Amino acid sequence: MNPKYTLQDWPAYRNDIVDFLDLDNRRNHAQAMFEVDITKLNEQISLRPERLHTVTFQLAHLLFCYGRSIAQHPEMQARLYKKKLYLFDDVDVSMIFEKTTPTGIKVPVPYIFRGIQKKSYDEILKELQWANEAEMHEIYQSKKSTWLRSLPKFMRMFLMRRALANPLKWKANLGTVAFTTLGMTIRNRQMYPVPIGPYSCMLAAGSSYHQKVEGKTVSKWCIVLNFDHNIMDGAPAVRFGRTFMAMVERGLETE
């Protein structure tokens, strides 16, 4: 008896995603899973006058803390080129937003928060709202030409790696670190999404949950850090993690 199945055409945009993930296959990934206490943050958010979803406020705070923490530990976004490490002053955070193409297909689209360590919480909140609501063409113009897409994969990868080998070109095109929200829509259970990609440092926001501690309800957030062990050892990553956790848990007083 023949099994039943459905055939679908492979969407062309998936090739761009696979190429991007394969850009730097020299990375040796290391992950750290941890939780942050967001009880105070949620209390502060409840007092905000804006009519926005709680997740938007939370994300803006995470981005704020991420940028400031990376700025204090620039080795986290270092890139290696010709036996030299490039440690950038500005933190450019790449984040994915789902957008609809003119043909009606929903696709993941990158947006880069430039120099985010210099922006206030309210500035990041406003930019995050804009990126959420913007049309695809407003936040992203594909830099991959039609002729490049038509080449065999090994040639595409050779040309892209050569074009982006210089850390200055990498920063201009792809940012310096990455952030993903995979898992944030899951509530009151633990989920730790592990990010993948060609960046030296990537942070993933997982699910949030509540638990009783000494008779009080505490809210916690699952976070995963992915860093390139070729570039740095565990100690710098731990120092970054301490800074980031402390900043998140202080809430909006970090302004």
- Three-state DSSP class for residue 12: coil
Output the pTM of the full model. 0.90
Does residue 17 sit within a domain? no
Nearest to 173 by CA among 119, 118, 111: 111
**Would you list the DSSP string of 184-242?**
TT-BSS-------SS-SEEEEEEEEEEEEETTEEEEEEEEEEEEETTT--HHHHHHHHH
Sequence-distant (≥ 6) Cβ neighbours of residue 108 within 8 angstroms: 17, 96, 97, 98, 99
pLDDT at 219: 94
Does residue 70 sit within a domain? yes
Does residue 13 sit within a domain? no
- Per the structure, the complete domain to which residue 85 belongs is given by 27-138+176-254
Does residue 163 sit within a domain? no
pLDDT at 142: 65
Tokens encoding 163: 């074009």
What's the angle, vertex CA 231, arms to CA 226 and CA 236, rounded to 5? 70
Does residue 96 sit within a domain? yes
Does residue 82 sit within a domain? yes
Instruction: Identify whether the C-beta of residue 223 lies closer than 8 Å to the C-beta of residue 35.
Output: yes
How close are the terminal C-alpha atoms of the chain, in Å? 66
pLDDT at 143: 62
- List the pLDDT tens digit at each of the 255 positions of the chain: 778 888 888 888 888 888 888 887 778 889 999 999 999 999 999 999 888 888 899 999 999 999 999 999 999 999 999 999 999 999 999 999 999 888 888 888 999 999 999 999 999 999 999 999 998 888 876 666 677 778 888 888 888 888 889 999 999 999 999 999 987 777 788 999 999 889 999 999 999 999 888 888 999 999 999 999 988 888 999 999 999 999 999 998 655
pLDDT at 130: 96
Nearest-angstrom CA–CA distance, 233 and 239? 11
Does residue 61 sit within a domain? yes
Domain count, the chain: 1
Does residue 242 sit within a domain? yes
CATH code assigned at 90: 3.30.559.10
